[in-house]
């Protein structure tokens, strides 16, 4: 992959930068600016090098030109963070946008409107890619979170602008995640949680070959426990997932990693912050109850394994952490990861949100900004957005 270091003189050049500004909005303002901050190093370097910067991003899934999904609030927040004016274009492509690009001075920043206002974006329409390419002398892709999709503003435009490179964020994401897979300091401990085994089976399989220990938590533990014969009550546990878990357990001897499951649980009579809850020192969930978090003994055991790791990769909360009574397991793991002396990498949308919520986002080596892209890279898939930057 080409990087910013491979690009020559950028002084006065129009650089189209694909960023991932797909951030949550609340009441018309940016509720979480992590992804905007993550793009700053690339934007700042390009400004220092005298580029005329044209930013392009998607936001949500607009059906039409939904005004509530305009990037205007994002432009405002970016301007505050950069300490420089950021203008927002009247659209994605077309005459008015071209005029705005032509009006840029060296170091100026223009943010195009939500690229998904154009239906050709997700279809990787060559015409839209061509129009975007015509706005640029150089193309930089820094949108790691969108790299697993071949869209017009990622894969399509990269093919049409020969002078292209991955930005600093994308470069760091790819090199950090590949480092975990290919050359980790050992022991490599993978902490995997979240909702469903089927979402993560590719990741589990990859780490069964490369990790030393896999710690399973979240709702994902119930298919494994069910496969071992434990009653799971009303816990989240799809029958397909039980089958996947059974296969994983039965082929365990062929894998490198030791797979660890919880030894205790927090259970409740319903999925609600006001539910009746109790700690279950065991794994047999009674009828009418559901497991919503790992228990304190499990959290302590997992914490010890994490503390002894050379490398930790964590994806997926340990419980329904959005509800306070079921957040303790995820918090304990987050604190253990933050305190661990080894290299610590966290990926996944909800895992990142959990880390932010606990104020620990700056205490890990790398907090990946990609959800699906992170998981696909770990699974060993080629990311079209990255492949196009060769």
Active-site residue set: 35, 196, 349, 372
| 350 touches Mg ion (CB under 5 A) | yes
CB of 212 to ligand ADP, least distance (A): 22
State the minimum distance, in angstroms, from the CB of residue 284 to ligand ADP: 15
Residue 317 binds which of Mg ion, ligand ADP, none (CB < 5-8 A, kind-dependent):
ligand ADP
Choices 116-124, 230-238, 258-266, 344-352; region in contact with Mg ion by CB under 5 A:
344-352
Give the one entry of ligand ADP, Mg ion, none that residue 216 binds, where binding means its C-beta sits below a cut-off of 5 to 8 angstroms depending on kind: none
Structure tokens at 346: 């966290």
Please, how many CA atoms are within 13 Å of residue 335, restricted to the half-sphere of its CB? Answer: 11
What does the DSSP 8-state code read for residue 19?
Answer: -
Q: Cβ closer to Mg ion: 120 or 317?
A: 317
Residue 345 interacts, among ligand ADP, Mg ion, none and using kind-specific CB cut-offs from 5 to 8 Å, with none
Residue of closest CB approach to Mg ion? 350
CA distances from 303 to 174, 299, 307, 312, 340 (A): 27, 6, 6, 11, 9
Per the CB < 8 A criterion, the answer to whether 310 and 343 are in contact is yes
Size, binding site for Mg ion by CB under 5 A: 2
Structure tokens at 166: 């991955």
Taking the complex as a whole, the smallest distance from the CB of residue 147 to Mg ion amounts, in Å, to 17
Q: How far is the CB of 194 from Mg ion (least distance, A)?
A: 6
Q: What would the two tokens of residue 164 be?
A: 């292209």
Residues 37-76 that bind Mg ion (CB under 5 A): none
Q: Kindly state the smallest distance separating residue 209's Cβ from ligand ADP, in Å.
A: 20
Asked if 349 touches Mg ion (CB under 5 A), the answer is yes
Binding residues for ligand ADP, rule: CB under 6 A, are: 194-195, 199, 218-219, 236, 291-292, 315-317, 319-320, 322, 348-351, 371
Between 133 and 327, whose beta carbon lies closer to ligand ADP? 327
SS3 52: strand
Residue 320: name its binding partner from Mg ion, ligand ADP, none (Cβ under 5 to 8 Å by kind): ligand ADP
Distance from the first to the final alpha carbon of the chain = 4
Q: Is 372 exposed, middle or buried (0-12, 13-18, 19+ CB in 10 A)?
A: middle
CB 41 within 8 A of CB 144: no
Nearest-5° Cα angle at 364, 17 to 169: 10
Whichever of 73 and 291 has its CB closer to ligand ADP, that residue is 291
Minimum CB distance to ligand ADP smaller for 35 or for 52: 35
Could you give the CA distance from residue 50 to residue 39 in angstroms, rounded to a whole number?
A: 17
Closest by Cα among 242, 247, 252 to 219: 242
């Amino acid at each position: 992959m080409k990087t910013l270091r491979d690009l020559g003189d950028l002084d006065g050049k129009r650089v189209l930068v694909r960023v991932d500004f797909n951030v949550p909005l609340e009441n018309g303002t940016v509720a979480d600016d992590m992804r905007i901050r993550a793009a700053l190093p690339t934007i700042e370097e390009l400004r220092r090098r005298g580029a005329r910067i044209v930013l392009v991003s998607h936001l949500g899934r607009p059906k039409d030109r939904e005004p509530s999904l305009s990037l205007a609030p994002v432009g405002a927040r970016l301007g505050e963070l950069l300490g420089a004016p950021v203008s927002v274009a009247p659209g994605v492509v077309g005459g008015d946008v071209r005029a705005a690009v032509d009006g840029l001075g060296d170091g100026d920043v223009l943010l195009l409107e939500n690229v998904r206002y154009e239906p050709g974006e997700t279809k990787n329409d060559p015409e839209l890619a061509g129009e975007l390419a015509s706005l640029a002398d150089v193309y930089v892709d820094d949108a790691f979170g969108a790299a697993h999709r071949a869209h017009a503003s990622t894969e399509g435009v990269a093919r049409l602008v020969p002078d292209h490179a991955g930005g600093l964020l994308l470069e760091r994401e790819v090199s950090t995640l590949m480092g975990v897979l290919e050359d980790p300091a050992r022991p490599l401990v993978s902490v995997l949680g979240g909702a469903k085994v089927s979402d993560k089976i590719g990741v589990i399989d990859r780490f069964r070959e490369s990790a030393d220990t896999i710690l399973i938590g979240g709702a994902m533990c119930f298919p494994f426990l069910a496969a071992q014969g434990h009653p799971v009550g009303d816990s989240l546990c799809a029958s397909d997932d039980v089958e996947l878990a059974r296969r994983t357990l039965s082929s365990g001897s062929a894998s490198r990693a030791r797979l660890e499951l919880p030894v205790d649980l927090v259970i409740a009579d319903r999925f609600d912050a006001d539910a009746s809850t109790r700690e279950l020192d065991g794994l047999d969930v009674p009828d009418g109850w559901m497991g919503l978090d790992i228990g304190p003994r499990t959290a302590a055991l997992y914490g010890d394994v994490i503390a002894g790791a050379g490398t930790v990769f964590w994806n997926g909360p340990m419980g329904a952490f959005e509800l306070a009574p079921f957040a303790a397991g995820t918090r304990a793991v987050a604190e253990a990861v933050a305190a661990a002396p080894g290299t610590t990498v966290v990926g996944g949308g909800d895992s990142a949100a959990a880390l932010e919520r606990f104020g620990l986002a700056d205490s890990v080596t790398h907090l990946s900004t990609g959800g699906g892209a992170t998981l696909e890279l770990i699974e060993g898939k080629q990311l079209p957005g990255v492949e196009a930057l060769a």
